[in-house]
């Protein structure tokens, strides 16, 4: 995930997640930029976008988190009507129509079973077949404690990792930059107050 600011616009690069799309559309000026494959928002809306990222993905472009690798075991077929099957913020199966089949999202691997599509031409489904087993990488550890899994899906934690140093350094740089901005604002406010006193 990353955010780049260019010409007073913030370009938001994230994996696809329908909940993120729904929430980012609630920000005034949010637009999908097909050529960049990114959402754009006004530059001053970066912090609300980061709050959405944290809620949906469990992390942001500047906040490093502990990650886990998990296995999902599908005891039942799981499907979503005209939408992808998402679990722990990962797209497990994403169909585009009844006969399209389904693709899997980033950090997702089927080791047994498969993702497919079904339903009718107008009422199609994204489907994860019964008895499928799926590995999810880079799941924020904060999602695991209160994980809301669909009925018929079991989870096994395979490993947990510590946050990477590069991500921590990026977060530190971002915080230091923000602190410098706050210091400038406070100095300017103090100077204005001294002039009016």
User: Quick one: pLDDT at residue 190?
Assistant: 85
Closest by CA position to 1, among listed 35, 33, 36, 38: 38
Please tell me whether residue 110 adopts helix, strand or coil conformation. Answer: strand
Residue 158: its H or E element: strand 153-161
Q: What is the pLDDT of residues 132-157, one digit of tens each?
A: 999 999 999 888 888 889 999 999 99
Q: What is the pTM of this model?
A: 0.71
User: Quick one: pLDDT at residue 181?
Assistant: 87
Please provide the DSSP assignment of 71-85 as one string. Answer: EEEESS-EEEETS-E
Q: Under a CB-based contact definition with an 8 Å cutoff, are residues 79 and 94 in contact? A: no
The residues with which 26 forms a beta bridge, in sequence order, are none
The pLDDT of residue 115 is above 90: yes
Query: Looking at residues 171-185, what average pLDDT do you find?
Result: 86
> 133-140 and 108-112 as β-strands: parallel, antiparallel, unpaired?
antiparallel
Query: Looking at residues 105-125, what average pLDDT do you find?
Result: 96
Instruction: Tell me what the pLDDT averaged over the chain comes to.
Output: 91
> For residues 170 and 66, what is the distance between their CA atoms, to the nearest angstrom?
15
Q: Under a CB-based contact definition with an 8 Å cutoff, are residues 22 and 52 in contact? A: no
| Domains located in the chain, CATH noted | 1-63 (3.40.1170), 67-161 (no CATH)
């Amino acid at each position: 995930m990353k955010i780049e600011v260019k010409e007073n616009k913030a370009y938001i690069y994230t994996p696809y997640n329908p909940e993120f799309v729904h929430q980012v559309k609630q920000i005034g000026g949010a637009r999908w930029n097909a050529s960049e494959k990114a959402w754009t928002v006004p530059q001053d809306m970066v912090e609300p976008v980061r709050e959405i990222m944290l809620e949906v993905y469990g992390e942001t472009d500047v906040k490093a988190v502990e990650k886990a690798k998990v296995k999902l075991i599908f005891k039942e077929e799981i499907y979503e009507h005209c939408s992808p099957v998402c679990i722990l913020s990962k797209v497990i199966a994403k169909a585009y129509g009844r006969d399209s089949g389904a693709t899997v999202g980033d950090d997702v691997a089927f080791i047994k079973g498969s993702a497919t599509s079904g339903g009718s031409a107008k009422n199609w489904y994204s489907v994860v077949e019964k008895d499928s087993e799926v590995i999810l990488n880079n799941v924020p550890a904060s999602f695991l404690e209160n994980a809301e899994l669909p009925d018929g899906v079991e989870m096994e934690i395979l490993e947990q990792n510590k946050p990477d140093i590069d991500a921590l350094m990026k977060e530190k740089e971002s915080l230091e930059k923000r602190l410098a901005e706050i210091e400038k604002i406070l100095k300017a406010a103090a100077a204005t107050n001294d002039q009016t006193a």
